[in-house]
Amino acid sequence: MEILKKNNVTTIVKDEDRPLKILQLTDIHLGVGWLAKRSDKKALDAVKKLIKASSPDLIIITGDMFYPIWPLTGSSNNLRGARILGSVLTEAGIPWCFVFGNHDTEPTSRANKDGIADYFMTLDGCLFEKGEKDITGVGNYCIRVENKDGTPCTLLMMIDSNQYVSKSFFSGFDVIHDDQIEWYKRTVREQSGEGDLLPSLAFFHIPPKEFKEGWEKCYRGDKSVIYHHGFVLEKDNYFGYPKETEGNFFKEMVEFGSCKGMFMGHDHLNTLSITYQGIRLTYGMSIDYIAYVPTLKWNTQRGGTIIEINHDGSFEVTPLPLVDIK
């Protein structure tokens, strides 16, 4: 595998004889305070085990790396969390990137998104980019995947799904905004050139409301929805989707036709993967040992997710439960 810059876009040239293997991690939730010492050790041990067990070519973290909420962790120093996690990822020696979740930079945390990004971007192996300054969010960027012969394979589209409607968790979750959707379309068109649109996979944190819509149709027996794996274990079939109406990302992607899969985190007990309206929607298995207090002793939801991208751009998704790793 080779990584290079091509037309101002990070490009991964995959090995010719096998798929590109991605390990998706999500909701690690490092607290880094005195109340979080035990949970942080468990979380970091889980990260190391998942990397060792999967031997991926690329690691993608879909948000909530940190949980800088002082009353529960004893710290709001998310920059310290970045140093700790960055050390583990650098030591692994595998290229990695991330998108922000809603908890990574809480209003009371020490560093904002730019501060966390600036630090991570100094580390070996980090492929994160801040993206265009005039686009909503920090970290809207593209990674192009090519075959050895130079033919394009797929585009990995990283999107900041933002945080809250206002500055408070209780205001509800924000959306992927209209300008981000237009950026996505423009980037795919530019990378596709004169030919058909290249297939793309989207990585972000907060799920679209259509994920729940698809699940409800699935369990009622609607054959248009394809079930792949996983469960919905959040209470009352909860999906933490945005309540705002600006920018219907899912609808726009269905109409656009490039996006073949969406990978997210956010709802720690949901591990579901379905195909709805032609797009595969997948919750990555979470790691969290501190945020969901009533379920700290649950284990079956914890793990990683393997995404293997083939020569023709098709892909397979396989959960990697932590309980299966000896």
pLDDT of 68 over the 70 cut: yes
pLDDT, position 125: 97
Provide the token pair at 275: 């195909």
What is the DSSP code string of 145-206? EE-TTS-EEEEEEE-----BSSSSGGG-B----HHHHHHHHHHHHHHHTTSSPPPEEEE-SS
Q: How many domains does one find in the chain? A: 1
User: 181: exposed, middle or buried (C-beta count within 10 Å: 0-12, 13-18, 19+)?
Assistant: buried
Average pLDDT in the chain: 95
Provide the domain limits for residue 169.
2-324
Strand partners, 306: 23, 318
pLDDT of 39 over the 70 cut: yes
Q: What is the pLDDT of residues 86-129, one digit of tens each?
A: 999 999 999 999 999 999 999 889 999 999 999 999 999 999 99
- We report the CATH number of the domain holding residue 77 as 3.60.21.10
Q: Which of 56-70, 117-131, 170-184 is predicted least confidently?
A: 170-184
Q: What is the pLDDT of residues 219-257, one digit of tens each?
A: 999 999 999 999 999 999 999 999 776 679 999 999 999
Residue 170 binned pLDDT confidence (cut-offs 50, 70, 90)? low
pLDDT, position 143: 98
Q: Global pTM? A: 0.97
Greater model confidence, 5 or 22:
22
What's the average model confidence in pLDDT over 246-272?
Answer: 95
pLDDT of 11 over the 90 cut: yes
User: What is the distance between the alpha carbons of residues 245 and 123, in angstroms, rounded to a whole number?
Assistant: 37
